[in-house]
Amino acid sequence: MTLTISGISHHTSPLELREQMAFSEEVLPQSMQRLKRLFPEGGAVILSTCNRVEVYVRSERPAMETFQQVRQFLSSQHGIPEDTFSNHLYEYEDREAIRHLFKVASSLDSLVVGEDQILGQVHHAYLVAQSEDTTDKILRASFQRAFKVAKEVRTRTNIGTGKVSVSSIAVDLAVSIFMNLADKTVLIIGSGDTGELALRSLVERGAGKVMVANRTLANAQELASQYAGDALSLDDLQSTLHAADIIISSTASKEPILQVEHFQAALKQRDRAPMLVIDIAVPRDIEAQVNQLDNVYLYDMDDLKQVAESNLEARLAEFDRCLEIIDHHVDQFIIWRQSLHAEPTIVSMTQEFNMIRERELEKTLAMFPDLSDAERQEVEYLTRRIVGGILQRPMTQIKQEVIRDDPNTVLRLVKRLFGLEDPS
């Protein structure tokens, strides 16, 4: 009943590697299906964000075997040799895997500790796996418990107080460069949630004009209309780039959509007025060499990590308290999962006792043919209560014993005592 996690994140790998190993929304469902075929006895969930790629697998195989199969899957999926990413890969099993999932969902492992976007991303990954039917009982319970733990962490601690998200970092950078945003134009490329949050934050801090560019013009128009802005298609980007003082890009493009020459042309039209460019896409939307241009301030996700680390003190003061909550729930989850070892034997016990009950009930009712239907139902109900009462304490004790002791030893003894066949 092994649960494993194999992953890379901003803690362990450079942005270039995370770009190579990211799963796009288009391939995510079929990738989960492929994993499910590798582990038909269990299931899989893939979490792919700007800052992490993690594969959650539940199988009946030894952890080392599962890790190896996941490494082969990642290598095949992305067309890269294992030795390209193996040194950056972290691998957890069972208790540590559960603890890591709870930390991720609670935003204790995030680029910005305490941010709330990761919980939505974990939930989305889980929903995709659910819709593709790639989860099993253990995975479902693991993720559902993770959501509850994340809620408790956020409500019982101040981990989110003064939180710094990508959107607030964008505002801080913009203010540090331009001081006053009232006469500045913001260009958002892509109409996803992250870009919209950044746009909202900049408008709230006084940004003067808004432009939204998207591959689908209708989506750009929908977002731009909320801020009385202008909508553009991606084909219009190069001709309008010069008008933007602040650019935030978060598309799902597999290749950069803006190169050095586009910014060189824009700077010339702007008389070299400064431009702040925040690329929060993975893979990146903006060619990295753009950062070498004078008066262009380009930040990618790794740069944002450095900015975020300077604003962690208030949240880190709550970190240990959050871990206490997580560790308590990890203990409770492990106890619950350990108790599952007893389920087949308990089912077998219940079936055996009820077969005896039904056999004896049938004999007894045959001796009293004049009983009414109501009376016969009451007698049957009585026998069910008796069997349930007899089994309640042994079943509870069996669950407790498999938690405290070796489950196989306990269950073999129970089967011998009650004459049970091994459940299928």
Q: Which of 145, 148, 106 is nearest to 337 (CA)?
A: 145
Distance of CA 190 to the CA centre of its chain: 22
Our answer to whether residue 322 is catalytic in this structure is no
Active-site option among 21, 35, 50, 248:
50
The DSSP letter of residue 11 is T
Interstrand relation of 2-9 and 52-59 (parallel, antiparallel or unpaired)? antiparallel
Residues 114/163, Cβ–Cβ less than 8 Å: yes
Q: Which of 149, 127, 151, 158 is nearest to 140 (CA)?
A: 127
Q: Which of 116, 118, 106 is nearest to 146 (CA)?
A: 106
What letter represents residue 137's amino acid? K
Rounded Cα gap, residues 63 and 93, in angstroms: 7
The DSSP letter of residue 26 is T
Helix then strand then coil, in percent of the chain rounded to 5, is 60, 15, 25
Torsion region of 311: left, alpha or beta (phi above 0 gives left; psi -120 to 50 gives alpha): alpha
Q: What is the set of active-site residues?
A: 50
